[in-house]
Structure 1
Amino acid sequence: MAKKKTPGPASPKSGKPGRPRVRMYRQGFGDCFLVTLPRKNASAYRILIDCGVVLGTTDADAKMTRVAQDIAKECEGHIDIVVVTHQHWDHVSGFIQAADVFAKLTVGEVWVAWTEDPHDALANALRKERSEALAALRMSAAAMTMAGDEAGARKIDGLLGFFGAPRGASTADALNLVMKMGKVRYCRATDEPIRLKDADARLYVLGPPHDAKLIRKTLPSSQDPDTYGVAAHQLPENVTAALQPNDAGAPFSDLRAIPLALTRGMDFFRAHYWGPGEDAPEWRKIDTAWLDGASALALALDGATNNTSLVLAIELKGGDVLLFVADAQVGNWLSWADLSWKIDGNDVTGPDLLARTIFYKVGHHGSHNATLRANGLALMKNLSVAAVPVDHQTAIRKGWEKIPLEELMAALGSAAKTGVIRSDETPERPLPGVSASELYFDILI
């Protein structure tokens, strides 16, 4: 795949009319996919899966409005199913940024994961945990800023950005907007597959698992080292508890704490702390040591939210599968091995659906822990197209230099018979059944 940023002219659409089609939008670092399925005696069946771009994207409102306008035009004002996979800004921001456009559409159903169900005890516990962690992290970032640790605060703020704009709209606000668009369905992996009316397709819910331990398993471990790239360790279980509000581990109460920046102008601290020059000796710096776990908690919260991703397998007539995994990480993937359904007298399993996958929406923008090896890509023996919604330049600015991971991109390139399509690159050579414009890729299945 060539690394070009400037889109070339759209190649003519090939193939017979009425084929399924996936449109991957190119709004930046974020997910937005429109699936079009042929339907008997009616207009095409449309499924919109997420619509967002990462916080800090230039002209984000204008870009997402343009995307939404194209969706409205393509769908002729009606979407059969809107899927919101999980509460991260780069998957839901467009529903707020282009709210006026979406308000004019009619929607049949809204699909969200069971993790949003207000009547599910585990879902309520996970939401409470997320809310408390977000509060603790915002306090930690503020404390780091007061203590002069601007780099640490920026790192946490960058991850907090996945949950919405500071002092602005949140992912919960976006989800609430979407859930008012149509009849809400809380999806579970134990659900019977849904046969779409007149569309010759069946939808399977693969995840997230109804298991707190698996949802928290976001990284590879020595027991399950089944990812691409360097394996990381699980986080200590006490990280979250140590960073709750009113943490007793903080060395001084707020009444006795002095913001680090103010001490630069105080004679005592200039003589006994700062010393010559502008920076204190490294051995004296304990100002933010008690917050060392904040970055770990931020990463854990980010990963756990990714692992609540609603994962869909769309089975087409003839058995081919389109796989949309959102940002599912290790525990979510591992749970699919145990799934099984009886369809028309035949057993259908999670691994079987992966074996029949011809289109794979690559997980979490091509990160190291969102595509498994043996329990994932190695099973996709019939893979034709791997689609990666990513913007590497934005990832670099955010400090995520290894997104997308080169090792994973190479493995996808070897596995995908037609090719790998990145939203931030236009292939130098035309790919069969794929057309490119500045706004989107169209992929005929």
Structure 2
Amino acid sequence: MFEQDCLMKKKADIILRQYLTHEGEILRYQLLEMPFPLPLKQLQGKTDLAILEDLKSLYLKNLLPAKPEYTGVVLFCCDHRIPDPFPERDGDIVIKDQASRVRWWIDKYYRNGHPEDQIELRQYLESLEKAQLLVSGGDRESHPLYLPVYPGMTKLSSFYHDNTVTLNSHFFLMEISDLLSPFDRVGEPFGMLSVDGEIIHPPLYSRETLISYESGDNGILKLSIEDMTIIIDGMEYRDKENCRIFRRPEYGVSPMQDGLDLIIVGNNILAYSTGGGCPVPEAGFILHLENPDPPSDLGVSYFYRKDLNFSIQVGPSMVEGGEVCEGFSTDYYQGTGIPFPPTVYPLDWSHGRAARTGLGFKNKKLVLIGIEGSKKAVYKAGYDSTGCSLEEMAHICKESGIDNMINLDGGGSSQISVMGIRSLKISDRSLETGEDFERPVPLGLELKIR
């Protein structure tokens, strides 16, 4: 144990541990226990030029080399103060969301010819670049990949404070195979998050959700969008009662049929269409209604149950009811069929080591665990922590007496700050200097310590 064990006796119990694995490698982790409930909020920033440049670097170095059909990448954020030249309607579909509309028409231009011939498109992209809302890398003239970026991307270090705990949380779209529909954006988070009973982000795929109730009880449930009441224009909708929900991996496009398809991501209707055949977003779903009249309000809210206090959905589970989980209990994409995110996720339960973050409960206290890992390219044996497998993490949770815990997004996204101090190194580091390279993320959590 390290000196930080006693740092916050009255506010939280903090432990830093380091030991040797059976292979003689270092494993370093941090464990926090905090009274619950406590002030908690989601953290989101504003995607700026520096964030776009970091994302461009990730694409050029890590993602585009595996996709030789693309000669470069163009990443952009839309701004309603910069009007786009594209019509909302294209046949049966009406695209209200600006980023989706821009990508829809760029994709269509590529299918029908070369978009650089479109003067209005070129002028619009130049306006975004002038406003520092667009970056490009590689060969932009031949066949680059045009991708809109989620507007809330940030670096969590900008939120560090001396009276808070800050951590990363959710999966988000990043791989090129995560972004197949025009309604997908780089960095779009997915998975349930509710704070003080309000559902901020809905569940989507049926994956493990850590949940607590007003009574103080907690547990882990598998929740999906089909378990929610969906509220639009004051009307309540339930799947197979007065609507149908189409989502991946069952549907890549909505069935051809009469009625209205609402293309929904998070709390917004991005587009609507009649007749079916709409692409299903990877971080969202399609709500089908028999009435073909579109709603007047494009906002969407969700309800689960009245006594809901807090929930977070990422997964997989590490321990449930104090018992070690022994493998994946929900589906992940394995390279066949209709893609659904995360489309690239290491499915080696016992051997795949990485940096990890987890959130759970122990005796009704909130428990947070961070496990330090290192990318192979920068790993230094005898100095760096090797990270751990999901199996090893589950046993650490069990040995720590944790009742319920789920794994959060890990790898290069994994980070924890306690009172403004990051005690564990980030797994992404500069090859030249060895300094931490902090990835942009769309969503984090801030726990205010009383």
Please, what TM-score do these two structures have when normalized by structure 2? Answer: 0.26
The structure whose residues are more often strand, as a share, is: 2
